[in-house]
Chains A and B, each alone.
Chain A
Amino acid sequence: MVEFLNGTLTLFGDPTAVMLFGLGLIGGMLFGAIPGVNMLTLGAVLLPFTINMEPNHAVMLFSVIYCAGVFGGAITAILFNIPGAPENAPTCFDGYPMTVQGKSGKAIGAAVSCSAIGGVASAVVMMAATPLIAGWAVRAFGPQEIFALIFFGLAVSASVGAETLWKGWLSVFAGLMIATIGTDPVGGVPRFNGGSLMGFEFSSYYLSAGIHFIPMILGFFAVSEVFVQAMSIAEGKRKRPKANLEFPSLLEFWSVRFTMLRSMFLGFFAGILPGIGATLAAFLGYSQAVRWSKTPERFGKGELAGVVASETANNSATGAAMIPLLALGLPGGALTAMIMGIFQIHGMEPGPLIFINSSDLVWVTFAAMFWANLCIVALGWLQTKTVVHILNVPFRWLAPGILLLATIGAFALRNLTIDVWVMFLAGAIGFFLRRTGYSAAGIVLGLILGKLGESAFAKSMQLMDYDFLGFFSRPIAAFLLVAAVLTVASSIWNEVRGHKLQKALMD
């Protein structure tokens, strides 16, 4: 409590911090709400500029963007059927039908309130739990556990955002393959940057440094969205949805109280798992809301509880996602990976020691996330009143600005035009991936966790003298590996059973 108060005083006693807090809050909400860009775009554009910021300010700014952006993404999900981020995807299921029915105000109102409630609850638990987990992690987490944890995270996240389990896994494998470009983490041997293939010689200095994830994220999320929207315009399919400002009543909120509580718990649990965080949280929250509802047939057709479940769960995961990042140095998603990037830029190592070496930074971040979630209620209400006017700006006017922001963000990273080429190529690939049911989120997760996973695997092998069974001599690693294998097996079983059920129904 004392640390939280100190963090709050440090945050609001520093004019630069207050300015960045406001910028992160408004920027996250706006970028989340404007179609074609999201919190990742803002994060990626701002990341190069954090080099000149104090680490406290930079990490706090990105944490606030994370909270505000996860909520902001709900606006586009509800109004345009475009999730601002993968974690807002289930919000589309009922949010967009509500908009079509002229209930966009109710859907956005529910999203504002539930995001704030989920986020505040999560921030409180995070403050209470992170130091404990960090202390425990020092003793319990070695390379074996980190590898097992990454494997488990990838196992659960594989099918998120993909049409089928197989496409999800192939997306993750593609991301892991891209992560191998550069140098190997053990001996520093250059990989895929030159050599010969069937008599054809090639070499590239650019590839020696590996493919940076920021141009990839910008391409997969921002540029591909512009391409998707542009195609809709070319095909004459793009329709502007209706919008109104009627909020849900207290009675309506009361009727979904259990959905909210359940989603809060599920969101926090899922958020702790690295590699998935808020995305799995939102899907879990939604699927459990359907499972426990007395009227499951109404889901997907404009059910308020669907929006409540998804938005409570994904914001509950934001605080929880900071736990593996701060306590173990494992990012739970693209934006937390950027926060990890900030640590690396400033020569800091996220992990258990951060609570000892940089406790100021940790508590300012916690306080900022708590207050940001509270501010979402007020600003979200104001935003709902004003966002309708922003939505009146035609997308075709916004598109050049989105592409330019992405171009500058990719270029400013290392002052390399080739990073911008990578971004636009990722955008084109992302467009086709989305059309063919592959998951851009899966590729990005594979790319982000690949290097870390390989490094942990190599260290584990060296420590265990290349005995694979050594993983099972460590309880946590064994538990996580078994859980990962069971997750993979059950998802394959569900996929095949779904197929058999479908066949039986047809027969």
Chain B
Amino acid sequence: MSSSDNRPDGQTLTVSISPLFSTPVLEWLFWLVLAGTLYALTDNFDEPIAEYRFGASGWPRVLCAAVAFGATAQLLYKLTRKHAMPVEPSGQSENQADEAAPPVLSLGSKLQRAGVFATPFVYLYVMPEIGFYVATPFFILAILLLLEVRSLKALAAVTAVVYGLVLLIFTRLFYVALPVGRIESFYDLNNWIIGLVRIGM
């Protein structure tokens, strides 16, 4: 939804109304719900402390109030600003809107973007079970594939170099204890890799 107004110079001003309440209000609600939830949680530790009148919950409660105040100030500021701020003259707006418009993504691109976010969490979920040393090469490969590396040589070389450097620096030189897995066969495999890396030490 939008309203228009003709200016004396012949250009048309368009005031955008629909996004007025959507994003700022949602943002405000997000902060308010967050502050409210945290405030409610402070009841769990609202205990008096000897020689400190404000107790354990005083400081977090003040911060919750500050968040609510800040979010409300931001909302008011944004609403007044958006009401007042005209969109570019219509003669220019189409081109600029085209330039500024977010790209239309294919399903593949959307899956790729989701994969970039999901892969580290999948890696983290799997790592304690199958161990760092087994999970890591697959993680490196997955990230490379998600970042559109398609050459087999590059996939193999980057995986080998990154994995090799990690083993050399953190396992052989710094003796960093990394997860070796909870599943028995993977536990053995991880320890075998560690033994291999530390040969001669």
Residues of A at the B interface (CB closer than 8 Å) are 49, 164, 166-167, 169-170, 173-174, 176-177, 180, 184, 186-187, 189-192, 194-198, 223, 227, 230-231, 233-237, 395-397, 399-401, 403-404, 407-408, 411-412, 415, 417, 420-421, 424, 427-428, 436, 454, 457-458, 461-462, 466, 495-496, 499, 502-503, 506
Contacts and interface: CB of A to CB of B under 8 A. Distances in A.
A189 B51 contact: no
B126 to A, nearest CB: 11
A192 B41 contact: yes
A190 B44 CA distance: 9
B66 A173 contact: yes
B54 A196 contact: no
A234 B116 contact: yes
A234 B67 contact: no
Contacts of B177: 412, 415
B147 A461 contact: no
Given A164-B77, A223-B120, A234-B113, 19 more contacts: A164-B74, A166-B70, A170-B74, A173-B70, A177-B64, A180-B60, A189-B47, A234-B105, A396-B149, A397-B144, A400-B140, A400-B144, A404-B166, A420-B124, A427-B120, A436-B27, A458-B54, A502-B81, A506-B86
Nearest to A425: B121
B81 A173 contact: no
A187 B120 CA distance: 38
A4 B67 CA distance: 47
CB-CB nearest 10 A-B residue pairs: A195-B44, A166-B74, A187-B49, A396-B147, A189-B56, A184-B56, A400-B140, A230-B116, A400-B143, A180-B60
B85 to A, nearest CB: 7
A233 B147 contact: yes
Contact of B74 (A167, A407, A411): A167
B124 A404 contact: no
Contacts of A412: 170, 176-177
Given A180-B60, A397-B154, A495-B77, A231 B165 contact: no
B38 to A, nearest CB: 6
A396 B144 CA distance: 6
Contact of B120 (A166, A401, A424): A424
B162 interface: yes
B67 A170 contact: yes
21 contacts: A170-B67, A170-B74, A186-B52, A189-B45, A192-B44, A194-B44, A197-B37, A197-B41, A230-B113, A399-B143, A400-B139, A404-B140, A408-B170, A408-B176, A412-B170, A421-B124, A428-B117, A458-B52, A496-B77, A499-B80, A499-B81
Interface residues of B, number: 69
A223 B86 CA distance: 37
A461 B154 CA distance: 62
Contacts of B127: 417
Given A173-B63, A234-B109, A187 B52 contact: yes
Q: Which of A395, A396, A454 gathers most chain B CB within 10 Å?
A: A396
B interface, over-half SS: helix
A176 B67 CA distance: 10
B130 interface: no
Contacts, number: 169
Interface of B: 27, 31, 37-38, 40-45, 47, 49-57, 59-60, 63-64, 66-67, 70-71, 73-74, 77, 80-81, 84-86, 103, 105, 109, 112-113, 116-117, 120-121, 124, 127-128, 136, 139-140, 143-144, 146-149, 154, 158-159, 162, 165-166, 170, 174, 176-179
Contacts of B140: 400, 404
B148 to A, nearest CB: 6
Contacts of B103: 235-237
A420 B136 CA distance: 14
A190 B179 contact: no
A405 B63 CA distance: 34
B199 to A, nearest CB: 21
Contact of A462 (B41, B51, B85): B51
A176 B63 contact: yes
Q: Which of B59, B128, B177 gathers most chain A CB within 10 Å?
A: B59
A433 to B, nearest CB: 12
A196 to B, nearest CB: 7
Nearest to B108: A234
